[in-house]
Amino acid sequence: MMHKLLVFVLLFSMGFMAGCRKEDAIKTGGPGNESIAHEIFKAGYTAYLETGTTKSSHPVYITVNSVINGPEGGNIQVSGSITGNVNTDEQSGEILGSILSIGLTENITDYAWESGGNIWTMNGSPRLTVTGTFTLKPDGSFGPASGMQFNGGIRITGPDCNKTINLCITVILNENGQGGTVSGTIGGEAVRFTF
């Protein structure tokens, strides 16, 4: 079951990141909102993938402590935990389903990336928190409302840009594990897109 989750997270993050590359033209004085969301989500998923799989079948507790380097410098330190339970049939050992919760903090220090031909630098203001719940069905699909939330503040600097942006983003996964919906606000601007 954990292997299926790791495979999904990898595919989910690759699909999400590919979808985020299709951003609109840069808005006034900064990178596009999808570019910002892409860099933030990428750090959380990369940290989760680096934890590996757990050997236990009942309760699950995975400590997360990873540093994700920016493509143009700086880093995002992701720390926290993934907890929950994997339910099995005591007779057959078959996995009946799981509920996993994530609680992560992303501390961003001079994380830099290229978007729209410019280099942008992001710092936590002061940090981002990531929380979420994943309900996994026996067939590896997701239960309703499986998803996560990203909250906090970031500071973006670059050409003609020096601003603090508060964000509150919710990612809801489709039950079939194929994409989902991102909604919320970035810098007071409503965002909603699918991946």
Model pLDDT for residues 67-111, shown as the tens digit of each residue: 999 999 999 999 999 999 888 777 777 778 888 899 999 999 999
> Using CA atoms, how far apart are residues 36 and 30, in angstroms rounded to an integer?
10
Residue matched to tokens 């194929």: 178
SS3 category, 184: strand
3 pLDDT above the threshold of 60: no
What Cα–Cα distance (Å) separates residue 110 from each residue in 15, 80, 178?
A: 26, 21, 33
Q: Which residues contact 67 (CB under 8 A, 6 or more apart)?
A: 75, 76, 77, 78
Which residues face 98 on adjacent strands? 86, 136
Number of domain units in the chain: 1
What confidence score (pLDDT) does residue 174 get?
A: 86
Q: How far is CA 41 from CA 1, 38, 161, 195, in A?
A: 23, 5, 22, 13
Residue whose token pair is 């995002």: 76
Helices (H), the chain: 2-20, 33-49
AA letter at 150: F
Sign of the CA dihedral running 49, 50, 56, 60: negative
Distance (Å, rounded) from C-alpha 187 to C-alpha 166?
5
Q: Which of 9-18, 26-35, 126-135 has the lowest mean pLDDT?
A: 9-18
Q: Decide if 166 contacts 188 (C-beta within 8 A).
A: yes
pTM of the model: 0.66
CB 135 within 8 A of CB 150: no
Q: Which range, 21-30, 56-65, 158-167, 177-186, is most confident?
A: 158-167
pLDDT by residue (tens digit) across 113-168? 999 999 999 999 999 999 999 888 887 778 877 899 999 999 999 999 999 999 99
E strand residue ranges, 89-146: 95-109, 111-115, 118-136
Whether the CB-CB separation of 184 and 37 falls below 8 Å is answered with no
Q: Output the six-digit token pair for 115.
A: 């978007």
Rounded to 5 degrees, what angle do the CA atoms 13, 18, 23 make?
Answer: 125
Domain that holds residue 136: 2-194
Question: pLDDT tens across 168-187, in order?
Answer: 999 998 887 778 899 999 99
Largest CA distance in the chain: 64
